Amino acid sequence: MGVNDGADSAYYLSLGYRVLGIEANPALADRLKDRFARELLGQQYILLNAGIAATEGQLDFWVSDVSEWSSFNREIASRNGTPHRPVTIPTRRFASVVAEFGVPLYCKIDIEGNDRLCLTDLTLETTPSYVSIEMSHPDADDDLELLRKLGYTRYKIVSQVTRAQPIPLLMTMGYRLPTFFNRALRYSTRKAFGVGTKDGWRFQLGSSGPFGEDTPGSWHPYDHVRRTWEALRDIDARFGTRGLAEWFDIHAAR
C-alpha cells in the first residue's frame, strides 16, 4: 500500500508474484495504469485507486508536491511548507480489501499516517506470512505490540536508505561528530548504500528493497527489536534537528 511510482511493484512482479497495489493519489494511479498496462491486462497486477481509512465512503486527500508525503493528514502533506492541494477520493477499510482479494503472502504498509489502521483491521486468521510497516519514530511501540498480538514472532528494523539493520551505538557516535563531518558521513552512506542490487535487480533510492526471508540480516525476537526502536527514538530526542535523517521499516514474520 502506497504504490507511489511503482518501483516496489515492479520488483515483486519480476519475481513472478501476483500483486495488488493500493494508491490513493489519482494522478499517480493514472501513471501506474500506463506503466503496468500489460500486467493489468493479464491480471498479474491489480490496482485500486482508493485510500485506506477508518470508514468506507469518500474523504479529502491531500496531494503533496513531494508525492511520498501525500496523506489524509494535512500536516504530513505540507511538512516543510510543501505545496499541497485536496482531492476527494474513495476510501476502503483494509479489512474489506482482504475480504475481497484474500490474504497476501506479504503486505507492505507505507501510507503516511493511516498505516496503523491496516494492522488494527487484521485478525489472527487474516495475517500475512510477512508484513512491513514504516516505523513511527515516536510511537512504534504501539505497532510492535499490535504485531505481537497478531502472532508475529520474528522482527527486523531495516533502513530505507542503507537497506541494512541499524546499529544504534554507531549512529549515536556519528551524531557526536561536528555538524560538517556528520553530514558528510550521512551523505557518503547514502551514496554508498542508497542503490543496491539483488539477483540482478537494481533497487533505486526510495524503493523498499527485498522482503520476507530476503531482507538483510538476522531475525530478532520482540524484545530485541523494541530496544532497537527505543534507541533510535532516543537519538531523535537527544539530537533534535540533527537526529534521524532517514526512515526505517519494521519487518515482521510469523
pLDDT (tens digit per residue) in 216-240: 899 999 999 999 999 999 888 887 6
Q: What pLDDT score does 161 carry?
A: 78
Q: What pLDDT score does 229 carry?
A: 95
Cell of 65: 508536491
Report which residue type is found at 227: R
Least confident of 31-40, 50-59, 83-92, 157-166: 157-166
20 or 80: whose pLDDT is higher? Answer: 20
Cα separations in angstroms, 11 against 2, 23, 164: 15, 17, 18
> Other C-beta atoms within 10 Å of 83: how many?
10
88 or 166: whose pLDDT is higher? Answer: 88
179 or 194: whose pLDDT is higher? Answer: 179
Q: Which of 97, 84, 7 is nearest to 50 (CA)?
A: 97
Q: What is the mean pLDDT of residues 144-159?
A: 97
Query: Where does the pLDDT of residue 103 fall: very low under 50, low under 70, confident under 90, or very high at 90 and above?
Result: very high
Query: Where does the pLDDT of residue 122 fall: very low under 50, low under 70, confident under 90, or very high at 90 and above?
Result: very high
Give CA 19 to chain center in angstroms. 16
CA–CA separation, 41 and 33 (whole Å): 10
Domain boundaries, the chain: 1-128, 135-254
